[in-house]
Amino acid sequence: MTINDYYGNKKGTTFLQIFTEPDDGSEKVIHRSLENAEAYDTWHLSYYFKEVLEYKMLMDRSHLDFSDLIRNEKNLLLYLLLSCDSELNSIMELGSSLYEMIDGFEVIQKYIRDNNAPLPILDISSFLYKGIELSQMLQLTSKVIHPTYKIKLYDNAEAFQDRADLLYDRSVTNYAYETVDELVDFVNRGKVGLLNTYFSYGDTFQTSRLGKTLTYFSLSEFLEKPNGNFFHLFVFKAPGPYSCHDISKGNAAVEGFFLYDTIELAGKFIDAAQQDQNVAQYFKIKGIELKPAVTLLR
């Protein structure tokens, strides 16, 4: 079933602490300690607000080079997808945090203008930005820091029952859904999707991360069900935790970026990247190619 709270099936307790380890080797002193969803939300508020500030500093520069851009796997790729079809007017991000995607789009456009790059300037303020975000604190912050943008937020995945033109997920599907059918239902609510999702080469299985339930969906079962085409773009293994366990528990899996397409946009997306030599070089370095996801099973 859809997981609509922080933990799902609880696998542990998440802590956020600030503490001192004395130089004399005596016991550490914990000054502040947060647990569970409060720990998770507080850490991510800080992490993503720092990212927003970084975007603001980039916007203040006199000139941006391509090397100055950050999170291209999100901002640049989504911007290119939006540039391929003028009828993509709404975006849904599962796990929208502070909707820092908006600030990322602003930086992409500054790069285009500063370099006369052969990429279109989109009216990013005209888009409807939809987001699924469990944290009320992060929801509020996303609206406060983007007062001129249209943002519609949902409290959990189950609450999102309508549609969006472009779907984006950075492995939050694996926390929000427990079955292939739930993932398929989400994917089929969009015309196009850029998804960083974890799939199993075998059966669907569950593991945990940050004390939360995490699902690896059966790729073979999934590919039988979407309304559109599903492509693997790049990456096979995501960065793991700083210490301890292998999240996939040794199971054969792919933790990559995928493109879902119902409107024959995928080829245009690859072609759009070739318009700018810096973007084309980025695609080459990252190994971004349009490969039917079914080929991963062979």
Span 249-287, pLDDT tens digits = 889 999 999 999 999 999 999 999 999 999 999 999 999
Q: Structural domain tally of the chain?
A: 1
**Is residue 219 domain-resident?**
yes
pLDDT digits (tens, 9 = 90+) for 9-34: 666 788 888 889 888 888 888 899 98
**Is residue 275 domain-resident?**
yes
Q: What is the mean pLDDT of residues 219-226?
A: 97
116 pLDDT exceeds 80?
yes
pLDDT digits (tens, 9 = 90+) for 130-186: 999 999 999 999 999 999 999 999 999 999 999 999 999 999 999 999 999 999 999
**Is residue 60 domain-resident?**
yes
62 pLDDT exceeds 80?
yes
Q: Which amino acid, 94?
A: L
**Is residue 9 domain-resident?**
no
244 pLDDT exceeds 80?
no
238 pLDDT exceeds 60?
yes
Residue 1 is predicted with a pLDDT of 64
**Is residue 225 domain-resident?**
yes
Give 11: exposed, middle or buried? Use CB within 10 Å, 0-12, 13-18, 19+.
middle
Residue 195 is predicted with a pLDDT of 98
Q: What is the mean pLDDT of residues 199-203?
A: 97
**Is residue 5 domain-resident?**
no
Q: What is the mean pLDDT of residues 34-55?
A: 92
Highest mean pLDDT among 32-36, 200-204, 235-239: 200-204
Residue 107 is predicted with a pLDDT of 98
6 pLDDT exceeds 60?
no
CATH number of residue 156's parent domain: 3.40.50.150
2 near 183, Cβ under 8 Å?
Answer: no
Share of the chain above pLDDT 90, in %: 79
Overall pTM > 0.85: yes
pLDDT tier for residue 212 given thresholds of 50, 70 and 90: confident
d(CA 148, CA 137): 19
Q: DSSP characters for 3-70?
A: --SS-SS-----EEEEEE--TTS---EEEEEEEHHHHHHHHHHHHHHHHHHHHHHHHTSS---GGG--
- Number of neighbouring beta carbons within 10 Å of residue 127: 20
Give the mean pLDDT of the chain.
Answer: 93
Range of the domain at 69: 15-297
